[in-house]
Amino acid sequence: MIDQVLTATKPALLRAAPKLRSRRASTPVLLTAMVGDTAVLFIAMVLSSWLRFGTSLARFGVGAAAVHWTDYLYRAAFGTLLFILLLPHRKVYDLQGILRMRQALPAILRAALTWLLAFMALSYLLRTGREISRIYVLMAFTLATSGFLLWRALLAQVAASEAVVHRLRERILFVGWSPQATSLARALAADRRNPYEVVGYVPSGEHDRSEPCGLARRLGGAEDLAELLQQQAVDLVILAQLGPSTEETVRVASLCEKEMVDFKVIPNCFEILLSCLQLQSVSGVPVLGVSHLALDYPLNVMVKRAVDLVGGFVGLLLSAPIIAAFGLMVYSEDPGPIIYRQRRLGRDGTPFWIYKIRSMKLDAEKDGKVGWTVKNDPRRLRVGAFMRRWNIDELPQFWNVLSGEMSLVGPRPERPELIKVFKEEISHYNARHQIKPGLTGWAQVNGFRGDTDLNGRVRCDLYYMENWSVLLDFQIMLMTFCKRANAC
């Protein structure tokens, strides 16, 4: 009788019927991805052999006419298996990689390039007869990569539809609340492709008075957590606010382990470079800290520098006539030096001279005040307004790129006088100085140019630092040109 009374007084949320775990619901999608990947790759390999040896292309190449396209079926099977094995499964075969092609794209392209080299090498080492056709390998690489990407783009569209993604999402329960939990909940609510669903939260302890501001329902108290994990079919518990004691944290972690629920902690003591957090063992003791950024590794630095040297040389060569033409216009309007140099801070806060075509009058800062230009700035030359609109005044900075003080892509450098103020007022502002500044950057292509929100600019710069890749650099450069073209 007492048990019946207690059950009747439980909130309706605690009496809800348990649901199947969403991680089980995602299994068919992951299997579909693997089967589809294999089928697309094999079809691409077979199609390549038919195009090479079953069409008029067979007339090209020594001995190609004597090869029947079915003779390459075993190579198609081998190439498909090799491609699948080279795919980094952690990034390509999880919900994040399937729902967000952009996250998986660098991993897929790296695997494709590795496949091209490995397939050629292994085919020569393991050859049993004729040498493999290099035309076939290039065709297989092109068709397999493009076919794979098109198939994955289609799968992402289907999986991201509300009818499907709703069944795939893992159910999150927050324990406690914090500003970081607010940011996470808002980001999940705004992203229809996210693989998570917030079911609610419970306080981290009896003294927890935090509120989620309508972003999550309060499902009960901390004492109800064990029952909520079952009744709400929770997949993931996120400890957003540490309780008053270590014992409380251990209790939540142990409960999740017993109920086979994933357990994660928002590290409130870390607010930047979160993707670089790693748990390391130092003399057998676990230590959580920020690991190296991608651009801390020498190989990545060398690759980025090589791109900068080529891009800087080509950019300076192509822009030299433009610099000369606008230099003459500047001199005719306001005689004096054409090239203007200004002190900026680079990597690790090292000062350097940045070069520009002068766009303002010679006495623009005679009063000693340092600041940004404003709209319709009276100090600006007539030709200077046009140059600033199209960033023509920044073309001499290709020399800064060649000299190694800047990169083609990176956070925009600022003047030391302004940084003294910004680093005190803007959180994490100086963290952007861990890499070289750039001619353009992720902040600029996302609209944070000139006198705009500095907090947004810093967030974009930190995102770039955490997610750097050569492909991201080329994407930013392409977006820079496209944005300027659209401005026409």
Q: Is the pLDDT of residue 348 over 60?
A: yes
Half-sphere exposure of 150 (CA within 13 A, CB side): 9
Nearest CA-CA partner of 484 in 360, 392, 399, 355: 392
CA of residue 393 relative to chain centroid, distance: 30
Average pLDDT over residues 137-146: 93
Q: pLDDT band at 9, cuts 50/70/90?
A: very low
Q: Tell me what pLDDT residue 3 has.
A: 40
Name the range with the highest mean pLDDT among 166-170, 176-180, 214-218, 338-342: 338-342
Q: Are 483 and 445 in contact (CB under 8 A)?
A: yes
> pTM score > 0.85 for this model?
no
**378 or 20, higher pLDDT:** 378
- For 57-115, how does the pLDDT look when each residue is reduced to its tens digit (9 = 90+)? 777 765 666 677 888 888 899 899 999 988 887 678 877 788 888 778 888 988 899 99
Q: Tell me what pLDDT residue 17 has.
A: 42
Q: Tell me what pLDDT residue 216 has.
A: 84
Query: Burial code of 375-403, b = ≥16 C-beta within 10 A, e = fewer?
Result: eeeeebbebbeebbeebbbbbbbbbbbbe
Nearest CA-CA partner of 205 in 147, 161, 246: 246
**245 or 347, higher pLDDT:** 347
| Burial class, 210, CB count within 10 angstroms (exposed 0-12 / middle 13-18 / buried 19+) | middle
Q: How big is the chain by its Cα radius of gyration, in Å?
A: 29
Q: Are 95 and 26 in contact (CB under 8 A)?
A: yes
- Distance CA(285)–CA(96), nearest Å, equals 31
Pair of tokens at residue 146: 């493009």
Q: pLDDT band at 463, cuts 50/70/90?
A: confident
Q: Is the pLDDT of residue 330 over 50?
A: yes
Q: Which amino acid belongs to residue 205?
A: G
**213 or 272, higher pLDDT:** 213
Q: Are 135 and 60 in contact (CB under 8 A)?
A: yes
Q: Percent of the chain beyond pLDDT 90?
A: 25
- Distance CA(428)–CA(272), nearest Å, equals 7
Nearest CA-CA partner of 476 in 439, 451, 450: 439
- Distance CA(419)–CA(426), nearest Å, equals 10
Q: Tell me what pLDDT residue 251 has.
A: 84
Q: Tell me what pLDDT residue 406 has.
A: 96
Pair of tokens at residue 17: 């019927």
Q: Tell me what pLDDT residue 375 has.
A: 59
Q: Tell me what pLDDT residue 24 has.
A: 57
**330 or 209, higher pLDDT:** 330
Q: Are 415 and 371 in contact (CB under 8 A)?
A: no
Average pLDDT over residues 237-252: 77
Q: Is the pLDDT of residue 207 over 80?
A: no
- Distance CA(162)–CA(397), nearest Å, equals 47
Q: Tell me what pLDDT residue 134 has.
A: 82
- Distance CA(419)–CA(351), nearest Å, equals 12
Q: Tell me what pLDDT residue 74 has.
A: 86
Q: pLDDT band at 1, cuts 50/70/90?
A: very low
**In this structure, what are the phi and psi dihedrals at residue 129, rounded to the nearest 5 degrees?**
-155, -120
**Mean of the per-residue pLDDT values of the chain:** 81
Q: pLDDT band at 398, cuts 50/70/90?
A: very high
Q: Tell me what pLDDT residue 284 has.
A: 57
- Distance CA(413)–CA(401), nearest Å, equals 13
Average pLDDT over residues 322-345: 91
Which distant-in-sequence residues (6+ apart) come within 8 Å of 237 by Cβ?
172, 173, 174, 175, 225, 229, 252, 256, 261, 262, 263, 264
Q: How large is the greatest C-alpha to C-alpha distance in the chain, in angstroms? A: 98
Find the range with the poorest average confidence among 93-97, 289-293, 372-376, 377-381. Answer: 372-376
Average pLDDT over residues 389-395: 89
